[in-house]
Amino acid sequence: MVTRGIRIRLGQAARESDIGALHKWLEREKPLAELIRTDQLRIDERSRTDEAGAPMGIGMDIVVAVTGGAAGAIFQGVVDQVRRSVDAWRANRRQVEDGEPPEADVEPVRPDDR
């Protein structure tokens, strides 16, 4: 089974609640929700690690895993959708909470990368 991953790493200004809020936001995004429903997509939170794989404090990343035989064919579309969804979450957070939302990096990763 093919698995490809996308890591979302929030900047240092992120609060712990931002991780959970973004995770829930992604799960409710219609295109992503449909892929979750059909077992083609999984969204997990993982402890942040450095280049050598050692844990980095209490930081968390969100990892979106695209699974199944169609993973290669749909992957770039999922990456683009995740980027749009993260941008929409940041815009929404800006409207509903004080302060600037944390920066977010969205990047493809190998399945075992964190």
pLDDT, residue 67, reads 87
Tokens 């990096």 correspond to: 105
Nearest to 64 by CA among 35, 93, 88: 35
Cα 11 off chain centre by: 13
For residue range 42-100, list pLDDT tens digits in order: 999 988 765 555 444 457 899 999 987 767 789 999 999 999 999 999 999 999 998 89
Q: Model-level pTM?
A: 0.85
